[in-house]
Structure 1
Amino acid sequence: MRRLLAAILCTLVLSTPATADSVRLKDLGKFAGWRDNALVGYGIVTGLAGTGDSPGNKATRQSIANVLAQFDVVVPPDDVFSRNAAAVMVTARLPPVARTGDTLDVTVTSLADARSLTGGNLLLAPLKGPDGKVYALAQGALFVGGYKFDLNGNVAQKNHPTVGSIPAGATVEAPVRANLLRTDGTMVFTLAEADFTTAARIAEAINGAFGQTLAHAQDAEGIEIAVPEAARARLVDFVTRIEKLAVEPDSRARVVVDERTGTVVSGGNVRIDRVVISHGDLKLSIVTDNLVSQPLVVGRAGDGVRTELVSNSRIRVSERDETGYVSASNNTVADLISALTRIKTSTRDIISILRAVKAAGALHADLVVQ
């Protein structure tokens, strides 16, 4: 016996596909060359209360010896046995435009076997880019937000005590500036989500705003923009005018399903063809009753008479018999989900139905199952 989900979508008010709202170009992508830059460095954290690297870590011992040597204190690495220091890696993000003296947030992570960086202080550490050049210097007290204490086999830990941060802990020493204008006097605007229709609309909007043909779509992701001679001296104003332009982005229909949480996210105008859906609703339950069999007269019935535990099991099978017809000749996924919700269909059943509708070729959208 099977249950046909009762909903007649043909009687619903057919919704007109919603027109996408206009979105600023600034929110749709960015100009080529406008990106953050990764910085990384090596350093030493001191001031740890016996939670630093073990004396067996040769890299930490050598680093401590090198630091002391800069202050005319010569100590062989083999004579360093402190557990109040730890070797760490320091990372930061350098923005596309930075001037000397700007500050950056840094993240400090343990490199060896330190148990905790709580209470530590990072010594001056240079931060390098992929080209090997030092762009910033980091130093300061760590904010860990966690701890780890152990004594006699007992451990108390919160969060990850071997990772810390220093807000505004690095100072920019070498300025950087993103170069948006190419040598041929053009710029390229790249979309975050590649789409041919959106790229064409952006090129049309730019040409209409400036009254001349300056932009053309190279592909589904990039729009090449020719910068007039007069605008090159005031490139910021030119870029600002472009970023303020609004277009209606177009995208491929997509339905996202998260089976772990039972979440379904879909555009309101995702279309489905005529389809009939049958979904089973079989419930099986096994009930066991445990009873105690007690003789009426204990001790008079002879040997072998005793109290017994008796288990009685029952199997219950129930299946609802409800029929209906689902017609979706010109409706959306939103209409279907709305109708299924009204008849109290669970979210996980809706997910199963959407997967079956997609397999039947009636769902005109990409079904993304996470």
Structure 2
Amino acid sequence: MAKPSGDVFAQIFQLLGKRSDDPEVLAFHAARGLKPPPTVTKTDVLYDVRDKKAGFALNYEAEVRLPEFYPPRKENGKYVAYLSSATFGEPFTGSIAGELDVALPEKDAKALAKKAKGETWSTPMYRGYVVRREAGREVCFIYDSDDDSFVEVRLELEQLEEGDPALAKAAKEAKAKAAPTPARVFPRRTGEPPANEPLPAPLAALFELQSADGLGEIDFEMLAEIEAGGPEAWTRNAEAEHEFRVFAQDGSGGLVAFWLVHHDDGVARPLAEQPVVFLGSEGEVGAVATDLADFLHLLAAGIGPYEVVEYGATEGEEPQPAIAKLAKKFFPKRKKRDANTIVVEAQRDYGDLGDRLEALRPS
């Protein structure tokens, strides 16, 4: 497979399989004026960075089914991500595999796949032809099954099938080498679970702002007070009421809460000093911000807790200057913080949230 220097396809071919923070990957993004590689917070999501004008997309993911990449792992609160595939479509004008282009007729793609002994597949929506394989990569031309039109070219790593013994072996070896994670210590609690209580002043002001002007397009709705009952319903364990204080929800009913992990002599610190976490209606869980000040800065950037946990979003559609003013008013010593830093630090420091929730749920 020819890979002439200066060709975009050839450059991406060489970058495939590299970490998202590899200097060569970052340099490619910078040279093309692309957004930086995404912060990956889930293993079952493909995160893309698109160059719409040039007609290609770079796809990053944490779970690459090859022994040298497996299993997914975290560093500093985020998953190690790899450039696992790329897609090319109209209006891409560069060469594909050094000699082809996106105008390749389907009959020619079919003939090339047969010659290369490449896979040919068909679904009710698409037909695909693997026309090249080299160095653990494959090039597949994809066409629409309804009107026979070209859809895209996919360049991707050749990965193993799920359940391949080599992956199980790699996972076992990684587990044996992994250092044990210290368990978080929670103080012993007595008495009845807490009842509803007033919102802290910054959140009360946010509730008033929501009532008066709304919070833009963020999938986030403040409650009128700190509400009890949600953590018990989510975990099926009344003890969870001692650890989580719910103050908001998303459109599907997911809970936004403080996780009471910081204590002095067994007494929980103020809610504003506790991390903000998300417990989704479909089981999604994750840390969102290390404290209330950071959380307000995240909302001010137009990013909600659901978007952070479900999609790993660190960019919002529309900044919210009114929320930024609240953050400055109530937390004047906290400088404006980059959303990516907020999310990464939260998930680094409170990445054990999922384990704790599992421990709370009755067996």
Between 1 and 2, higher relative CO (CA 8 Å, sep ≥ 6) is seen in: 1
Question: Where on the TM-score scale, by shorter chain, does this alignment land: which range?
Answer: under 0.3
Q: Which has the larger radius of gyration?
A: 1
TM-score, with structure 1 as normaliser: 0.21
Length-normalised TM-score, structure 2: 0.22
